[in-house]
Structures are given as C-alpha cells and as structure tokens.
Amino acid sequence: MIKICCIGAGYVGGPTMTMIARKCPDIRVDVADINAERIAAWKSDKLPVFEPGLDEIVREVRGKNLFFTTDVDSAISDADIIFISVNTPTKTYGYGAGSASDLSYVESCARRIADSADGNKFRVIVEKSTMPVRTAEVIRKIFTSRGRNFQILSNPEFLAEGTAMKDLENPDRILIGGDDSCEEGRRAIDALVSIYSRWIPKEKIITTNLWSSELSKLTANAFLAQRISSINSISALCEATGADVDEVALAIGSDSRIGSKFLKSSIGFGGSCFKKDLLNLIYLCDHFGLPQVAQYWRGVVEMNDFQKSRFCANVVESMFRNIKGKRLAIFGFAFKEDTNDTRESPAIDICKLLLSERAKLAFYDPKVSPGQICSDLGIDEKDSRVEFCKSACESAKGADAIIVLTHWKEFRELDYSEIIKQMNKPAWIFDGRNCLDHRLLIELGFLVRGIGKGNLS
C-alpha cells in the first residue's frame, strides 16, 4: 500500500489530503500537524476549516484511509510521498521583513524529514505550500548534508477557498515541477502523476522544471491580483466620472482576449496568498537586480491599499465627515464568502480605520468568531466600541449605516424593507462588494454607496 503523509493540516493540506484519500481508497493518507488543537478539531465534528462540501467527505474517509495526528515523526517515517504544506508567511523581522517569505517552518520540516524518514527507501518530497523560487534547493541542501537522496517536486496548489472541494475535484490544471534530467527525478514525477491521474485527465497535468513550477504559482497569483487592482483603479475613475464599474467590467470582459473572471471591483483583495505572493515576487525581483520589475508589481499592492482607504474615506465623507459614536453594522468579516478565513481580509484594515474615527461597530459574520475578529483588530472582546451579533438584522438595529465587507449570499436575501425601519435615519448602505440591489434599496429610502458607482442617491 502506498503511504502519503502531509505535514501541515491547514486550509491547503486538510482539504487536499481529504480529496486524495477519497479518490484513492487504496492509499493511506496521514495528515500531521504540530498544532494539537487543530488536529483535535480535524478529528471532531467541528472541523477547523469551513469549506462547502468538506464535512461530508471527511466523514466518509476519516478513520478509513485518512488519519490526523500530532505525531509528525511517525507519520513521516514510512511514507512514500511526503507533502510539505506548512505556512510560509511574510517575514516580519530582519532581512526582507515585510516582503520575503519566512521559510523557518519549511526548513524545520525539511530537517525533520531528513531525521525521521528511512533513507534506504525511494522517497518523494512534495512542496505544496507556496515557496519562493529555488526553495527546493534549500530543501535539497538540508537532505544532502544529512546523507539523504530524496527526490523533491514542486506541486503548487491553485484551489481557491470557498470553492476548494470543487477546485480539487475538477482543477483547471495540475502543475508538477521536477528534475526530469535523471532517472530518479522522472520516477518521482511519474509517482505523483499516477496519483492525480486517477481522477484528473492526463492532458490537464503539466510537468515542468522545478523553478518554472515554483515561479508559476507566484505569477498566477500576481496576475489574478493584478486584474483586481486594475478594475479597482478604474472604479475610482468611475466614481469621478459617473461611469458604472460593473458595466465597464461587463463590456471589457466580453472581449474573449480579456475574459470576464476576476473583474469584480471590491474593497480590495484579501486572503493568505495574493499579497504574500506579490511581496515575494517583488522581493525576488529586487534581489535579482530588477528594481523596475519590482516597482511594476508593487503598484498592484499599493492600489489594493488605496482601495481600502478610499472606501473608508468615502464612508466618513458621506456621513457628514463624522462617524464618532455612530453605530455601523459590519456585514461580513471573512476575506471572501463561504470561508471562515480572515487572513489579510480587507475588513481588518477597514474596521481599524473606522475604529480610529471612533465609530461603534456591530459585527455579524456567519462563520467568523468574535475571538478571531478581536484578535485581527488587536482589541479585547469586552471593548465597548464593538458588539457581536447573532444575525445581520440584529447588527443593523439602531445603526446609522450598514457596511458590507464580504459578499455572503445571505446578505442579498435579507428583507431590507424591515431592516430600514429599525435603523437611524438617514440610513446608509456602503456596499463594498457591489452585491446588493441598489435600485431597490434606494426605493426603500436608503442612501446607497457602491464601489465605482458614483453617487447613487
């Protein structure tokens, strides 16, 4: 029986291994993490990651061929394929602080693998986390210095949170980078291809050299983020000129060369990948003496920050330049819908700015806990400036404004004719996701502001 081990039971490792276990009933999959609380949650009824469709599959395969453990060394010891799926956050200290990736977790994994894995067996080590280009070289050096000749592959994950299970089941492509110049390298690539090809057509599996694969992941995220910053830059111009950014997006997206995806203007992109990968790319360009290229990509991050501060300025300006003491109902805190993840959520910066203007914030997010929101904002749960509500309607009660920060479907389905009755007048709606029916809201008496919509009312 083939044994797979995954180090890191996070948003990537957990769902990915669950899908592999389901598609390969003859393979044993062990997911190991040093975080005991997280592993306990994976073994319980309340999984640490919310993803539509994930619960059902975990229940189906857990205990059969999918196992969760804190015993990392045992999980590594006899695995044939070891995925490294640990976090690679942006460095906050020393050289490269604020842009380079912190590889300490990856390095500690590599050392652990070198020490715990049986060196006599053919082993494949797979980089699943997003790594800066040439990280495989670092891992290889650690292995060779300890007499290990394990094969290293790069197999970046392209799943998006909220649609992870669909993306895993039916991905646009699978990318596998490896060293095909030697027999062992080719054997490693074949081993991984043979796992994915059980449910993914062979023509969707792309194999490249290691560095192309590592760089492709950064580039894919940089291109996606760039599209969002591009349309967001146009949203500012729309507000100034009276054009409607959604109409512009529709018009340009109909050009098959441009395409319609990732053109939704918003308060800015969030999530664990986009900003981190852009910063990584910028760091690499600077490092390799390409400051003009670095500056080009830096603009994408700067535009994202501008979008958030522009949105806040619009809230303050519209509400008569004063939100001090006003109750603002915050609809959504996750970085996008259908996830409980708040990493780099634009809601964090926006709420901090609103708090600095001394507003009172009444939060409602269907999946994010009050504890998480407070930790992201760096405040105490008992802070008198914040309140946590059980429903969107409760948070809107007595509020001067509703601020939509995440486009959860349920926000589109609320009865706003009832909600307005409970609000202070004038009642504002700032739709940071352009997801509500603005015309209807105006008819109901709301003062509405969207993104890239000019003054609607």
Q: Cβ closer to ligand ADP: 86 or 368?
A: 86
Partners of 206 in beta bridges: 175
Smallest gap, in angstroms, from Cβ of residue 437 to ligand UDX?
A: 19
Q: Hey, what are 341's tokens?
A: 């993840």
Closest CA to 218 of 283, 166, 170: 283
Binding to ligand ADP (CB under 6 A) within 147-206 occurs at: none
Token pair in block for residue 9: 């039971």
Please state, in angstroms and as integers, the Cα–Cα distance from residue 446 to each residue in 65, 312, 364, 395, 442, following that order. 54, 19, 20, 16, 5
**Interface pattern 209-228 for ligand UDX (x via CB under 6 A):** ------------x--x---x
Query: Which strand ranges, in their side-by-side order, compose the sheet holding 428-431?
Result: 386-388, 360-364, 327-331, 401-404, 428-431, 447-449
Question: CA-CA distance, 457 to 447, in Å (whole number)?
Answer: 6
Range 67-126, binding ligand ADP (CB under 6 A): 72, 85-87, 105, 108-109
Residues 138-167 that bind ligand UDX (CB under 6 A): 157-161
If contact means CB under 5 to 8 A according to the sort of partner, which of ligand UDX, ligand ADP, none does residue 379 touch? none
What is the separation, in whole angstroms, between the first and last Cα of the chain? 65
Binding mask 259-278 for ligand UDX (x = CB under 6 A): ---xxx-x--xxx-xx----
Residue nearest to ligand ADP (CB): 10
| Pairing relationship of beta strands 81-84 and 124-127 according to DSSP bridges | parallel
Catalytic residue (choose from 238, 273, 285, 312): 273
Active site residue 273: yes
SS3 292: helix
219 is a site residue for ligand ADP (CB under 6 A): no
Nearer to ligand UDX, 142 or 218 (CB): 218
Count Cβ atoms within 10 A of the Cβ of residue 445 and give its class: 0-12 exposed, 13-18 middle, 19 or more buried: middle
Residues in contact with ligand UDX, counted by CB under 6 A, come to a total of: 19
- Find the binder of ligand ADP among 22, 28, 38, 453 (CB under 6 A): 38
Q: Give the residue numbers marked as catalytic.
A: 273
Residues in the site for ligand UDX, rule: CB under 6 A?
157-161, 221, 224, 228, 262-264, 266, 269-271, 273-274, 335-336
> Which residues of this protein are in contact with ligand ADP, per CB under 6 A?
7-13, 32-35, 38, 72, 85-87, 105, 108-109, 129, 272
